[in-house]
Amino acid sequence: MLSPKSAETVRATLPAVSGAIGEITTLFYEKLFAAHPELLRDLFNRGNQANGSQRQALAGSIAAFAGHLLDHPDDRPDGMLARIAHKHASLGVREDQYPIVREHLFAAIADVLGDAVTDDVVRAWDEVYWLMAHALIAVEKRLLREAGVRDGAGWRPYRVAGRIEETDEVATFLLRPADGAPVPASRSGQYVSVQVQLPDGARQIRQYSLSGQPDGGLQISVKRVAAGRRSGGPGDAPAGEVSQYLHTQVHGGEILYVSPPFGEVVLSDGDGPLLFASAGIGCTPMAGMLAHLAATGSRRRIITAHADRSPATHPFRTDLRRLTGKLADATAELWYEEGARDEEEGAERAPGGAVDAVTVRTGLMDLTQLTIPAGTTAYLCGPVPFMKAVRAQLLEAGVPSAAIHYEVFGPDLGLQVPRQAILGDAHPGRVAR
């Protein structure tokens, strides 16, 4: 896809760009927000900017895309592009914003690398940028068209019709269209963006997995994000602005602006075995998938594995037992770091289900204790260290890499290197969020 001359230049300069890309992206965002403060106020996640995770994600995506063009010149990294395009479509990123990003990114590259940025280098990296940008724009237009979005009018008012306290930290919100029109179609595993106006006037956006599919509405579940270090994150982070707002200010009757559902990690069709592995609030997309399977009377072999600090912090704990009992061939495997004995540690009967439907253990998730059926498709969600460890265990059990799917809450830091590499270099990590 790259012209031969540009490919040669990119190959020669990729180590220098990669080595300085942290400095480049830091300067890029400074320039971008100085010229367009409305982007920080109303589009970018201010919390992710504060802790640097968004900057790492941008750096990783550019380096990964350039590396793929060099290593696989005859194809595009469509999986990576699809993940980014779904996020962009959900956030309302516009085509006319790509030249703005290009302007400030290349200004930052020139400032950091200095005389090394010759005209040939600029032309080569400009080719990389626009190959990536035009590919994303094309996918985003298709996604918006399929979602019925016209003229960029993707935000739609929803009224909060109900709220359920799942745990002390997690609340579920039932949303119904304020205009009374039908809800958009969605697939289990997808997410929506929610836009709220904060006290300082900023319209901040966050993305939340659909945790269920109620008739005539959408359902999201939100964990209150406290200040401090995030598991798998780059450093200390401020308290979540939007999650705090939803928990303290939204109790029923309020209007929230919500995007159509997007997301490429969705429940597969077919009748093969499934494994859902989650930690903490990572169980939200799994809850939606499990509810769909129960509602459709699925007879697939289903293993739901979840890890949490304790039964008290486990969202959807009661729903998990109920849904497991409704399914013909499902089991739940639970690991708690503390309080497992309060849940009758060991095997037990789920309501209406078979003996051994729910098993509770103390400690960190260890899938080597389970028998993973041949032909299993796995879905992972939780902190990146958790997913690294779980993915390694699944590969060891014979699950092919292509059958392991994952969802990341927040910027996909896995794009800093090819996704197979970051999720392949497993190391132990805490599994509770």
**How many other C-beta atoms are found inside a 10 Å radius of the C-beta of residue 70?**
14
Give the closest residue to 276 by CA, choosing from 211, 214, 219: 211
Q: What is the pTM of this model?
A: 0.88
- Return per-residue pLDDT of the chain as tens, 433 residues: 799 999 999 999 999 998 998 899 999 999 999 999 999 999 999 888 877 666 667 767 888 899 999 999 988 899 889 999 999 999 999 999 999 999 999 999 999 999 999 999 999 999 999 999 999 999 999 999 999 998 777 999 999 999 999 999 999 999 999 999 999 999 999 999 999 999 999 999 999 999 998 999 999 999 999 876 555 555 566 789 999 999 999 999 999 999 999 999 999 999 999 999 999 999 999 999 999 999 999 999 999 999 999 999 999 999 999 999 999 999 999 999 998 876 655 555 445 444 458 999 999 999 999 999 999 999 999 999 999 999 999 999 999 999 999 988 655 544 233 333 333 333 322 222 2
* Residue 98 known to be catalytic: yes
Place of tokens 């836009």: 195
Q: Tell me, what's the pLDDT at 409?
A: 67
**Amino acid code (one letter) for 254:** E
Q: How deeply is 328 buried, as exposed, middle or buried, from its count of CB atoms within 10 A (0-12, 13-18, 19+)?
A: middle
Reply yes or no on whether 336 is catalytic: no
Which among 98, 208, 245, 379 is annotated as catalytic? 98
Task: Please pick, among 29, 129, 140, 379, the residue that the annotation labels catalytic.
Answer: 140
Give the Cα separation of 55 and 413 in Å (integer). 9
Q: What is the DSSP string of 165-225?
A: E-SSSEEEEEEEETT-PPPPP--TT-EEEEEEE-TTS-EEEEEEEEEE--TTSEEEEEE--
